Amino acid sequence: MERRSASIVNADVTGGYIDLPYVCEYYDYIFRDLKDRDFYVDLAHKTGGPVLELGSGTGRIVVPVARAGIKITGIDLSDRMMDICRAKLESESEETRGNTRIVKTNMCGFDLGERFALVIIPFSTFQYFLELEDQLGCLESAERHLRDGGIFVISVFNESIDRLSDKGVFEEFDITPEFTMEDGRRVFRRFRYVERDYTKQVELKESIFYITHPDGRRERLVHRFAMRYFFQFELIHLCERAGLNVTGVYSDYAYKPFDASFREGRLIVIAEKRS
């Protein structure tokens, strides 16, 4: 049932990527078809690097940017996700490994002692920050790590009014086609919303995994997490407050101008460090 709740919290600030091993293990299978890799590699080339990625996880963006010859630093708080990234890098060339640095640190209030031409927060990582203090702490840290005139990019889900009024999402629905792990496990992922707090703009969600093991045994695992949704001018205001001049807002990685009614679209903000 849909209801407002003042109790929605994230005990794990990464939304489960510290506490739940299977969430990390399945990550690259779930998100292998995202369309943003070329977008970030292209921006890395245009700025010339170096690049800083906040919430770099399994290296989904880090590895292709490094492979393209651009220096990139990724920060993350999940040892499991960083271990997956490091394992990927072991099979890459010496040049790619040399272009990559992975640092364990919180996305709020960090200090790497370096400035970057491009700072990115891809694929909704920012939405795990439910409170204003953390949101500003993250954006201000990003701004401090930019060179003068450096570029900042943040991407979050577009919670359109159509989606926010949809009661059907409180029942399980299909979201990811079945995939097969290297050890033969077949995994099918469904999804549902549990609670929605319109006042705090926070949604409690469940990613539900149905696993069939090679011996026929079946298992159901539930990843429950909370995310804050943002509206266009709210996110613009947060960026501006952190010292970032917004230069563009888009609905997809082909630079389609932002359309708040585009249910399947993104909310992508591009900004520059204020001189």
3-class SS string, 64-79: HHHHCCCCEEEEECCH
Within 10 Å of residue 185's Cβ, how many Cβ atoms? 17
Q: Where do the domains of the chain lie, and which CATH numbers do they carry?
A: 34-158+231-273 (3.40.50.150), 161-228 (2.20.25)
- The mean pLDDT of the chain is 94
CB 240 within 8 A of CB 274: no
pTM for the model stands at: 0.93
pLDDT of residue 16: 86
For the segment 64-93, what is each residue's pLDDT rounded down to a tens digit? Answer: 999 999 999 999 999 999 999 999 999 999
* CA pair distance 151, 38, nearest whole angstrom: 17
**Band of the pLDDT at 2, cuts 50, 70, 90?**
very low
* First and final C-alpha spacing in the chain: 49
For the segment 151-181, what is each residue's pLDDT rounded down to a tens digit? Answer: 999 999 999 999 899 999 999 999 999 999 9
Closest CA to 89 of 74, 104, 110, 108: 74
pLDDT of residue 15: 80
| Residue 123 vs residues 35, 92, 158, 239: alpha-carbon distances, Å | 10, 24, 11, 17
